[in-house]
Structure 1
Amino acid sequence: MMKSIFISFCFLLNLVSTAQEWTHDLDHAKEVAQKEQKDILLVFSGSDWCAPCIKLDNQIWQSEAFKTYAKKHLVLVRADFPKRKNNQLPEEQQKKNNALAEQYNTYGYFPLVVLLNQKAEVLNKLGYKNLPPSDYIKAIYEK
């Protein structure tokens, strides 16, 4: 019982620590991107069921190299699609994520990383790649 409580606490702590860096609203991200002259990185993930999504989060998004790079160059948007009942998103957020998927992830790939310009036009797409953070950052921009 204590182990499951500890794991749940760590999961929540991880969500809280990354919540300040990620938005869940593309319209807000576009405003910030235009103001700060940054690109937008839209990430489709299945945070509680998609093993490559979880690896991408742990190996890339949580890395200091990515955090440092993103702070200077990217506005981060996460469209999550959890499956477990206790992780379900509020209905309004799920509708927003579904609309994003209809526009940018029509094939339902997970994870899918979409690089957008300030007008939310697609510059590049990629999925999980087993790369160090610095190489993954480069791959975000390669076509």
Structure 2
Amino acid sequence: MKKIFLILLVVFSTLTVHAQEGQEWHTDLGKAMTISKKTKKPLFLFFTGSDWCGWCIKLQKEVFKTPEFTKWAKENVVLLELDFPRRTPQAEELKNQNGRLNAFFKVQGYPTVWFTNATQGAEGGIEFSPLGNIGYVAGGPDAWIAGANKVLANK
């Protein structure tokens, strides 16, 4: 009985790690913009409270850490995590970047995902062309991806 349990534990652990392979979550807007421009994919701005927001943690577990989402994200967007933790320390530069983006997109609750295109403005600023947003959607990765595809269809 112990052997079966250990085998199942190893199999499920491997699946969890595999589900995260291929995902590259950026935290630097500039780097994400460079990749977005090169790949012609919109930015996926994930506003989260990673260490305190229950709905954010649930969205990560039910959707973002699945093979379906990983495949979809790789084909459609450039992932940028904008975290607002309460216990996890962050560099001041990252806090400032995330705070400015939070204010620009008028995020009122977590989790929120904004899809946007971004370009360097003539005077060095960043110009955003928001496509729309989505939050937690019940029903797992298929339901969430369907909602995200509706937002992206409006671009």
Short-chain TM bin: 0.7 to 0.9
Identity percentage of aligned residues? 32
Secondary structure (helix, strand or coil) at the match of 1:129 reads coil
1:38 partnered with 2:38: no
Long gaps (5+) in structure 2: 1-16, 120-127
Who is 1:58 aligned against? 61
In 2, Cα distance between equivalents of 1:141 and 1:83:
31
C-alpha distance after superposition, 1:87-136 (max 9, x if no partner): 121111111111111111x2431010101135441111111111221221
TM-score (norm 1): 0.79
Measure the CA separation in 1 of the matches of 2:56 and 2:22: 17
Whether the 8 Å contact between 1:38 and 1:118 is mirrored in structure 2 is no
Q: Which has the larger radius of gyration?
A: 2
Q: TM-score w.r.t. structure 2 length?
A: 0.73
Which moves more between the two structures, 92-101 or 113-122? 113-122
Runs of 4+ in 1 over 4 A off after TM superposition: 17-20
Q: Whole-Å Cα distance in 2 between the matches of residues 83 and 19 of structure 1?
A: 28
Cα deviation for residue 72 of structure 1 reads 1.6
Q: Does 1:124 align with 2:132?
A: yes
Provide Cα deviations, 1:25-80, integer angstroms capped at 9, x if missing partner: 22221221111121211000000110000001111110100001111211000000
